[in-house]
A and B are shown apart, each in its own frame.
Chain A
Amino acid sequence: MMQRFLNDPDDVVDETVSGFVKAHGAQVRLHPGNPRVVVSVDAPSAGRVGVVTGGGSGHEPAFLGYVGRGVVDAVAVGEIFSSPTANSFADAIRAADGGAGVAVLFGNYAGDTMNVKLATRMVAKEGIAVATVIANDDVSSAPPEERDGRRGVAGEILMWKIGGAKAATGASLPEVQAAAQKAIDACRSVGVGLAPCTLPAVGQPNFTIAPGTMEVGIGHHGEPGMRIEPLRPANDIADDMLRIVMAEHDLPPGASVAVLLSGLGATPVNELYVLYDRIESGLADRGLRVHRALVGNYFTSLDMVGVTLTVMALDAELTGLLDMDCTAPAFGGW
């Protein structure tokens, strides 16, 4: 028996979406014709580029928590860890379209890529222009020379924020696409897992992490990391993660960065701050300034014990877009 809050595991996605829409009705609404699409109350906005994302469930508050003003206009919701349908992506695109086209910003996974491709084909027949950006910020999923094969992880959140902000300035579809691409190109992420996650319908973990060990470089669905090694003190893990992401950043002293440290679902939040304490010091030691830090459960993996670190290099344009006002359930606010 799983110690989890479930009814019928097959209903968990519908119930999640239903509860989410009830809780955040001031910011989002359910698509009237598709129960797997959540739309911002501000969308569509005539003449403004729409921003869409989507992905499997189990990563809450991603993806639907980033629907709101100045971020994402509509999301397509899939089954647990499984891509939304092409129909759902297409309905999200239609709901976000204000006549200026739609940027679909999503992660590099086979199912999502295929369903977005199909959805783009469907809406093209209706005259909706679509531009895509595929996030690939997870440095441990492939070597630098195979960057196109890397998975997208928490850096997607910063891509959505930048893309949504650019759209809010009234920029054109190619400009929004370019800004979102620039944002994800500026992000490097790495994950560390200490305990696996369990899909509700399966009832037991589909991979293992032996007690006393950790998996460095783990993916958002438990994809194997680059190494399994003995669990070490938090400061050592923080140093290791920072070393991994900074190895692919070439930043001069004095540069600014944004840092996103996300729990994977079952990590105590205080431990995220324990890690962040060390990470911020490590960045300061490198002469870098943290312009904005996000620490919390921003992009999870069901009940995995673990964390992802994302460091985004900032220039004036990205800083300005990052600082623009927005509201979305996952970004809090009162």
Chain B
Amino acid sequence: MALANRNLGVVVAELAAVIVANKAWLSELDGRIGDGDHGANMAKGFVRAADRGAGQDPTLGAALAVLSDVLMGEIGGSMGPLYGVMFDDMAHALEGVDVIDITAVDTMLKAALAGVQAMGNARVGDKTMIDTLAPAVAAFETHRDKGLAEALARMVAAAETGRDSTIGLVARLGRASRLGERSRGMLDAGAVSCCLILTALAQSLTKRLS
């Protein structure tokens, strides 16, 4: 199972649609323990990237590179550089790839995790997007012998479990860490947006598999 690495700007458009649909929820979650701008900032960046890629015929890497440029250059805060680096490193991992197969996705996901970890220094348990991303990438690796569609499905399940694990955690990094114990009992907005992105990415790739 694989798909040709061309005309995939639509993947970023589908990611943007999911972020826009969840904009209010993300902002509400962020408002409980952060400053409430996560949904608006993410939506602004993803929509701009989708608009800029429209009408072109990019590879997945090229489409993700546009998304990265917008997030890093125009969004700021903490999520701009974190997601910016994540998509940039994913784009680099896909350089020279003609067919997106299980090896390409595996390489791309590992690059995503390494990029976010290098930029943000978060570890599993800190109540951040890493609590979603790290177990998701590990699950894909574990199940890669089951084929791309199944490995992506396992990745999504692990991402959801990771996202929900943040409810019981006390934030140790970022703005929410200033609340200490008061941050426990609520989802982390970054863990939620990361789960939305991984889920949308998996759906987008899976339905184009042949």
Residues of chain A having any CB pair with chain B under 8 Å: 78-79, 81-88, 110-111, 114-115, 117-118, 199, 201-202, 206, 219, 221-224
- Besides A78-B76, A83-B78, A86-B84, 17 other CB < 8 A contacts? A82-B77, A86-B73, A87-B72, A87-B73, A87-B74, A111-B81, A114-B119, A114-B120, A117-B81, A118-B81, A199-B35, A201-B36, A206-B31, A206-B35, A206-B36, A221-B175, A224-B180
Check B147 for interface membership: any CB of A closer than 8 A: no
Q: Is the interface of A mostly helix, strand, loop or mixed?
A: loop
User: Which of B80, B178, B180 lies in contact with A86, CB distance below 8 A?
Assistant: B80
Given known A-B contacts A86-B72, A86-B73, A202-B31, A115 and B81 have beta carbons under 8 A apart = yes
Q: Looking at A84, A87, A201, A222, which has the most chain B CB atoms within 10 Å of its CB?
A: A87
Q: What CA separation (Å) do A118 and B173 show in the bound complex?
A: 19
Identity of the chain A residue whose Cβ is nearest the Cβ of B178 in the assembled complex: A223
Identity of the chain B residue whose Cβ is nearest the Cβ of A82 in the assembled complex: B77
Given known A-B contacts A111-B81, A206-B35, A85 and B173 have beta carbons under 8 A apart = no
Interface residues of B in 64-105 (CB under 8 A from A): 72-78, 80-82, 84-85
Identity of the chain B residue whose Cβ is nearest the Cβ of A10 in the assembled complex: B40
| Min distance, Cβ B189 to any Cβ of chain A, angstroms | 14
Given known A-B contacts A79-B76, A111-B76, A202 and B36 have beta carbons under 8 A apart = yes
Residues of A within 8 A of B76 (CB): 78-79, 82-86, 88, 111, 115
Q: Is the interface of B mostly helix, strand, loop or mixed?
A: helix
Check B37 for interface membership: any CB of A closer than 8 A: yes
Q: What CA separation (Å) do A222 and B33 show in the bound complex?
A: 12
Check B179 for interface membership: any CB of A closer than 8 A: yes
Check B185 for interface membership: any CB of A closer than 8 A: no
Identity of the chain B residue whose Cβ is nearest the Cβ of A81 in the assembled complex: B35
| Min distance, Cβ A118 to any Cβ of chain B, angstroms | 5
Q: What CA separation (Å) do A81 and B178 show in the bound complex?
A: 14
**How many of chain B's residues touch chain A, expressed as a range?**
20 to 34
Q: 22 A-B Cβ contacts within 8 A?
A: A78-B76, A82-B35, A83-B76, A83-B77, A85-B74, A85-B76, A86-B72, A86-B73, A86-B81, A86-B84, A87-B72, A88-B76, A110-B174, A111-B78, A114-B120, A117-B81, A118-B85, A199-B35, A199-B36, A201-B36, A202-B36, A219-B178
Residues of A within 8 A of B178 (CB): 219, 221-224
Per-residue CB proximity of B171-192 to A under 8 Å, as 1/0? Answer: 0011100111010000000000
| Min distance, Cβ A197 to any Cβ of chain B, angstroms | 11
What 7 A-B pairs have minimum CB-CB distances, sorted nearest first? Answer: A223-B178, A85-B76, A114-B81, A87-B73, A111-B78, A82-B77, A111-B77
* A118–B37 CB distance below 8 A: no
Residues of B within 8 A of A78 (CB): 76-77
Residues of B within 8 A of A221 (CB): 175, 178
Residues of A within 8 A of B84 (CB): 86, 118
Identity of the chain A residue whose Cβ is nearest the Cβ of B118 in the assembled complex: A117
Identity of the chain A residue whose Cβ is nearest the Cβ of B82 in the assembled complex: A114
* B78–A114 CB distance below 8 A: yes
Residues of B within 8 A of A224 (CB): 178-180, 182
Residues of A within 8 A of B73 (CB): 85-87
| Min distance, Cβ A78 to any Cβ of chain B, angstroms | 5
Q: What CA separation (Å) do A58 and B37 show in the bound complex?
A: 15
| Min distance, Cβ A298 to any Cβ of chain B, angstroms | 22
Q: What CA separation (Å) do A83 and B178 show in the bound complex?
A: 17
Q: What CA separation (Å) do A84 and B119 show in the bound complex?
A: 16
| Min distance, Cβ B120 to any Cβ of chain A, angstroms | 7
| Min distance, Cβ A210 to any Cβ of chain B, angstroms | 15
Residues of A within 8 A of B31 (CB): 202, 206
Residues of A within 8 A of B180 (CB): 224
* B72–A85 CB distance below 8 A: yes
Identity of the chain A residue whose Cβ is nearest the Cβ of B37 in the assembled complex: A82
| Min distance, Cβ A225 to any Cβ of chain B, angstroms | 10
Q: What CA separation (Å) do A110 and B80 show in the bound complex?
A: 12
User: Which of A79, A118, A199, A202 lies in contact with B72, CB distance below 8 A?
Assistant: A118
Given known A-B contacts A86-B81, A115-B80, A224-B179, A79 and B37 have beta carbons under 8 A apart = yes
Residues of A within 8 A of B35 (CB): 81-82, 199, 202, 206
Interface residues of B in 112-169 (CB under 8 A from A): 119-120
